[in-house]
Amino acid sequence: MASSGPYAHELNVALLAVQRATLLTKSVFHSHAKGTLSKNDASPVTIGDFGAQALIIAALQHAFPNDQIVAEEEAKDLRENEQLRNTVWDLVQAAKLSDATSELTLGGPLASPDAMLDTIDKGASQGGRAGRIWALDPIDGTKGFLRGGQYAVCLALMVDGHVRVGVLGLPNLPESDAEPLVEGIGAEQTDADGKGVLISAVEGQGAQSRALTRGPLASPHSIQMKPLARVSDATFCESVEAAHSDQSDSARIAAALGISKPSVRMDSQAKYGSIARGAGDLYLRLPVRKDYVEKIWDHAAGDLIVREAGGEVTDVEGKRLDFGLGRTLKANKGVVAAPRGVHGEVLGVVKKVLSEKK
Ligand SMILES: Nc1ncnc2c1ncn2[C@@H]1O[C@H](COP(=O)(O)OS(=O)(=O)O)[C@@H](OP(=O)(O)O)[C@H]1O
Ligand SMILES: [Mg+2]
Ligand SMILES: [Mg+2]
Ligand SMILES: [Mg+2]
């Protein structure tokens, strides 16, 4: 159900578009052939990433034809590989929501394989601080997706450099907020149809979660971060991939905060979604390489969702993430996300531990 108020239409379109694309990714997740390619930076991309990007951009272009889009993938590999292109085209054609009203909102099916390629390449905006720009990560945590772990379909609307709407499709998270945080997929194992959640936020309106469905959107409930009396009681999450976040620094920071529970390693923006609904408390992303610059699509939706659920999100120096500088977060290093009441204390320890390394 669409609510009223600022950005109600944007939220409704974003939720439906992410839901439809998440269903496409689920069909790939449960098949053996994921059509994996290696990109220039040696990171993987799959037919699921291409298909989800095509579907979401098509919906955005139908509903908001004047908006810009910053998306992770490009169609080059599909233009050069007919078989791969046909596989993605089959997936895109098969991904439909069950009700006609939702499909109408998203503009219905794509016209042709060529239109699909052009649509994927509409995500090449350079971003910036002016106007309405969507940030799209069609599959975040592609390595998790391939490993059978967590992944997320991530979409956010920025207006004049600030994130106003954020949606995460999280097909492998349990529907219940109360489910304990676990590495990989929990006991409530995903299936080809049900399970999974859509977590969303609109600036100034709080954060919500709802079950992922095939039809009209399920009704939402609001989510909040867990009240945390003492930081030493916290559960923190971090990347599975040690190349993405320094796991020995995070262990030192946890020890300095008096945290004895081991970290929960989880792929993708499922980390932001989990702490926003009180399954886990802190998310630390600690730079491994000095030259790596974070991408806006890896953080835009999660940043807003955590802040709207009662958290604070900064980089490791205490600066807010700046989404208005282009396709990357070039002014920021790493991420520290925590409940508002303890963020200052956590940040102080992060700064101290990282400065002792120098
Ligand atoms: N070196 C380095 N440092 C930091 N981050 C990097 C690095 N390399 C890649 N990436 C980005 O990490 C995204 C995956 O997110 P996570 O690290 O949270 O999950 S995971 O542990 O990798 O599964 C991943 O997003 P996807 O490509 O969408 O999967 C990358 O954009
Ligand atoms: Mg990638
Ligand atoms: Mg990503
Ligand atoms: Mg991705």
User: What domains can be seen in the chain, in order of their start residue?
Assistant: 8-223 (3.30.540.10), 231-355 (3.40.190.80)
DSSP state of 96: -
Check residue 185 and give its pLDDT: 67
Q: How far apart are CA 330 and CA 307, in angstroms?
A: 21
The DSSP secondary structure of 176-230, one letter per residue, reads: -TTSPP-SSS-SS---SSS--EEEEEETTS-EEEEE--SSSPPPPEEE-PPP-S-
Local confidence band at 170 (pLDDT 50, 70, 90 cut-offs): very high
70 contacts 158 by C-beta, under 8 angstroms = no
**pTM of whole model > 0.90?**
yes
Question: Could you tell me which of 241, 249, 252, 280 has the C-alpha nearest to residue 264?
Answer: 280
- In angstroms, what is the span from residue 141 Cα to ligand 1's centroid? 6
Local confidence band at 1 (pLDDT 50, 70, 90 cut-offs): very low
Tokens 């599959």 -> residue: 139
List, edge to edge, every strand of the sheet that includes 152-159. Answer: 68-71, 132-140, 152-159, 162-170, 197-202, 207-211, 221-223
* Phi and psi angles of residue 313, each rounded to the nearest 5 degrees, phi first: -130, 125
Region 212-235: mean pLDDT is 95
- At 285-321, the pLDDT tens digits run 999 998 999 999 999 999 999 999 999 999 999 999 9
Check residue 2 and give its pLDDT: 47
Residue 4: pLDDT over 60? yes
- At 226-274, the pLDDT tens digits run 989 899 999 999 999 999 999 999 999 999 999 999 999 999 999 999 9
R_g of the chain, CA atoms, integer Å = 19
Q: Which residues are catalytic?
A: 49, 142
The bound ligand whose nearest atom lies closest to the alpha carbon of 40 is 2
Share of the chain above pLDDT 90, in %: 83
Report the chain's mean pLDDT, rounded to a whole number: 93
Measured from CB, residues less than 6 Å from any atom of ligand 1 are 43, 72, 137, 139-144, 239-241, 243-244, 267-268, 288-289, 292, 295, 298
SS3 at position 63: helix
Tokens 């989510």 -> residue: 223
Residue 186: pLDDT over 60? no
Local confidence band at 41 (pLDDT 50, 70, 90 cut-offs): confident
Ligand 1, atom nearest to 241 Cα:
21
Annotated binding residue at 298?
A: yes
Residue located nearest, by CA, to atom 22 of ligand 1: 241
Question: Could you tell me which of 205, 220, 222 has the C-alpha nearest to residue 278?
Answer: 222
- In angstroms, what is the span from residue 343 Cα to ligand 1's centroid? 23
Ligand 1, atom nearest to 266 Cα:
21
SS3 at position 314: strand
Q: How far apart are CA 307 and CA 146, in angstroms?
A: 30
SS3 at position 337: strand
Check residue 31 and give its pLDDT: 81
